[in-house]
Amino acid sequence: MNEERKLRRQDKPPRPGPDVEVIRVEKGPGVAVQIVSRAIWGVWTHWDGRRSRECTSEGPLCQGHQNNWPTRWKGYLYVWCPYRKQFCFLECTPNMAQEIIRLQGDNDSLRGLLLRANRYGGSIRAKVSVELVKPAGGDGALPEPLDPEPVLRKL
């Protein structure tokens, strides 16, 4: 049998992915989305060297704290992504989230605003530029925002 045509076998089923995609602002074309959430939902995580892990407390109950894995804050917004033609979660770095909150100013909600973000550089601390624009058409057609927690637990 031709070795190149061997079937790709795996009896252990793959872990199901999240039902809702999580997008990030990568270096390059950036993102342009409409915000569905009213506010940023933030959470602390640990980085184990390969992937993000949940932080469950600052005490001995948290595996990440026990292992001294570095902590990272992540913010999430439920958004409509016209490019993907789907609703998804946009992950925000701390400096991106601070910029969104600064631009939000006295507005009590982010819901309906158009957000454009671009990242200048590949590092986690790279500056992300953010623009918030009020759409001309209003936000009447937006659904209720989703809770990110069940989705993030599947990541």
Binding site for Zn ion (CB under 5 A): 55, 62, 64-65
The residues facing 76 across adjacent strands are 41, 91
Report whether 142 contacts 80 (CB < 8 A): yes
What is the nearest approach in angstroms of Zn ion to the Cβ of residue 18?
Answer: 21
What is the nearest approach in angstroms of Zn ion to the Cβ of residue 91?
Answer: 19
What are the φ and ψ backbone dihedral angles of 104, each rounded to 5 degrees?
-65, -35
Report whether 100 contacts 132 (CB < 8 A): yes
Beta carbon nearer to Zn ion, 64 or 112: 64
Beta carbon nearer to Zn ion, 64 or 145: 64
Beta carbon nearer to Zn ion, 62 or 128: 62
What is the nearest approach in angstroms of Zn ion to the Cβ of residue 65?
Answer: 4
Beta carbon nearer to Zn ion, 55 or 79: 55
Round to whole Å and give the CA distance between 12 and 20. 23
Q: CB count, 10 Å around CB of 83?
A: 10
What is the nearest approach in angstroms of Zn ion to the Cβ of residue 132?
Answer: 32
**Kind of pairing, strands 22-23 and 31-35?**
unpaired
